[in-house]
Amino acid sequence: MKTIKQIKNYFESQIIFENLIDFGDFDNINIDLFFSNTQNINYLKSYLNENNLNKGLVFNGYIKNPLLFYKNEILNFKPVIIIIDNIVYSEINKNQTYFTDLINEFNKNNIKLIAINNLELDKFFKFFYDLNINDLNIYGITGTNGKTSITTILYHISNSLSNYDNVFSSSLIGTIKYCVRDKVVSKYDVNNSLLTTPDTSLIYYLIYLSKINKVRNIFMEVSSHSLDQQRPKGLYFKIASFTNLTIDHLDYHKTMENYFNAKRKLFFEYPNDFTVINSYYNDYGKILYNQLKDIKKNNIFTYIIKDYTFEINGTNFVLNIYKDDKLIEINGLKDIYFFTNLIGVFNIHNLAISFINFYIMNKEIFEINYIDFFKDYIKNINFLEGRLELVNNDPIVFIDYAHTPDALENVIKTLIEYKESLKLGNIYVVFGAGGNRDKTKRPIMGSIVSSLADKIIITSDNPRDEDPLEIINDILKGIKNKNNVIIEPDREKAIIKALNDMKLNDILLIAGKGHENYQIIGNKRIFFSDKEIVKCYFNKIKLKKG
């Protein structure tokens, strides 16, 4: 950790301005935490409960007028020091009156403000936390779907081996939670919305926590937004993996070309030792694979699903692994056989990319027992929260995070195969689309679900500031035959309607929210859990039966 004096010395001539009233009193104070986005303040407090740590905030040009907008939160958080870059300084300085008032309030609260020219966050945090990124193996997973499943699988498998050998000790940075070894640092819930890939300062803080806890591996979801905003800047990836690219986030990226170009930055702007790409089953994966072949030449892995079959309790599948276009043998095996209790071809893809990462991670010591360990582990996976999660058996009810056209298509097609193999009845789907998000995908989602499901109930899914009925009407534009479609904007009523209507041999999929336990209506975040609605429904039935 560094003192304020050391931080000042680090920046030297880059300092634009500093309010230095009694600054000398702070010269030897250690700043233990730095965070660059005040949207994180609410859940950062949980890090500070156990220790009375000094705090710092860093703001960069991605946030407009942040010090003014978050003034009250900042004053409540009471950081010892705030560092801003020249862009933020310019934004704030446009309004001198507020700026002067703000400086005075900071001075009253012993909060020191420094403006830095050309603040390079990654270099600063490496300096601040004394980090050598090469001391850790960072595994970056990007793609529209599959990131959470793959990082979670790798994190759990590796950590389960860490007692045997510390080379497997791991941290997790992703949509549902941030973990260091087996400790949850922060978890997604109604009061705490995590960014899939956190801001630069939090990335480096989690790396710092991993370092002091002697962690060797970090499994990290890398979102297109974060790559576009350079949040992971300065990281070196042991393996960079690409799952797929399908329509999503066009409210931000505007075009699929922009979306793809953001994703490909992980492979062209960040150094990595190995690359894993789903190149046979995704058009953008093929493009990326061909682009990389011309530059990288070697250490590019891909795979083919040679065969798969669904059983009543899971899926059998066979993988062929390719390195630089050549089929490789792993301990003399070209065809690698697996069984998992997960169902769905999309889960086979997730497990394939997970296995290749696990293989590369340990290839110097990869023996039959490690293959067997992976196989044994995926037989009974029970930690993929909200990813085709079975929440009731009789009748069968799944919840899933699917909220894009491709994800919905994959999940429903999986359930069709599941239905046919088990000779089950109709497939019911309850789904909606998020408000203030990509509107172009709504009719496409409606078209896909109506063409695959037997019964549909369209409902709300975080409407935010939009009228839920307008969102539903956008979805309806993609549905030609509306005979089997029911409209129910109240999500709880929609779920209960489906549960009342379905028969014992039917299947219900409740899509869109998965692990989430809230609804965003207007600017309010209200507790809501698809899983809890289902459990409560069947508990009431049990009570009635006595």
Q: pLDDT tens for residues 279-298?
A: 999 999 999 999 999 888 78
**How far is the C-alpha of 137 from the C-alpha of 357, rounded, in Å?**
11
For the segment 93-98, the average pLDDT, to the nearest whole number, is 70
Alpha-carbon distance of 463 to 119, in angstroms, equals 37
Q: Would you tell me how many other CB atoms lie within 10 Å of the CB of residue 355?
A: 25
Residue 232 backbone phi and psi in degrees, to 5: -85, 15
Enter the tokens of residue 125. 């945090």
Tell me: pLDDT of 274 over 80.
yes
* Cα 248 from Cα 144, distance rounded (Å): 7
* Percent with pLDDT over 70 in the chain: 89
State pLDDT tens for residues 124-183: 999 999 999 888 999 999 999 999 999 999 999 999 888 888 888 999 999 888 999 998
pLDDT at 424: 92
pTM here is 0.84
**Residue 501 confidence class, pLDDT cut points 50, 70, 90:** very high
Instruction: Convert the pLDDT of each residue in 37-93 to its tens digit.
Output: 655 555 455 454 445 567 888 877 765 556 766 777 788 878 888 888 887 777 777
Q: Characterize the bridge pairing of strands 55-59 and 237-242.
A: unpaired
- Strands 170-173 and 217-221 turn out to be parallel
With a cut of 80, say whether residue 25 has pLDDT above it. Answer: no
Least confident of 149-153, 197-201, 315-319: 197-201
Q: Which pLDDT score, from 0 to 100, does residue 448 have?
A: 98
HEC assignment per residue over 406-452: HHHHHHHHHHHHHHHHHCCCCEEEEECCCCCCCCCHHHHHHHHHHHH
pLDDT digits (tens, 9 = 90+) for 11-22: 877 887 666 444
- Residues 443 and 545: their CA atoms lie apart, in Å, by 42
> How much is the average pLDDT of 195-209?
89
Would you place residue 185 in the very low, low, confident or very high pLDDT band (cuts 50, 70, 90)? confident
CA atoms within 13 A on the CB side of 134: 2
Q: Report the pLDDT value the prediction gives residue 23, as an integer from 0 to 100.
A: 45
Say which residues have a Cβ less than 8 Å from residue 381's Cβ, sequence separation at least 6. Answer: 153, 340, 341, 342
- Locus of tokens 């709504």: 442
- Contact criterion met (CB below 8 Å) for 354 and 390: no
Identity (one letter) of the amino acid at 65? N
CA distance 63 to 509: 38
* pLDDT value at residue 355: 96
pLDDT band at 27 (very low <50, low <70, confident <90, very high): low
Token output for 351: 């497990």
Token pair for 35? 């965070």
317 band by pLDDT with thresholds 50, 70 and 90: very high
Pairing of strands 427-431, 455-458: parallel
In this predicted structure, what is the pLDDT of residue 21? 45
Phi, psi of 389 (to 5 degrees): -85, 125
Q: What confidence tens digit (pLDDT) does each residue in 234-256 have?
A: 999 999 999 999 988 888 999 99
* Cβ–Cβ < 8 Å for 514, 400: yes
Q: What is the residue whose two structure tokens read 């992976």?
A: 374
Stronger pLDDT, 452 or 365, i.e. the higher one: 452
Q: What pLDDT was estimated at residue 413? A: 94
352-389: pLDDT as tens digits: 999 999 999 887 666 657 788 899 999 988 767 888 89
Q: Indicate the helix (H) or strand (E) that contains 542.
A: helix 530-545
Among 104, 77, 102, smallest CA distance to 88 is for 102
Mean pLDDT to the nearest integer, 423-436: 96
Comparing 333 with 71, which gets the higher pLDDT? 333
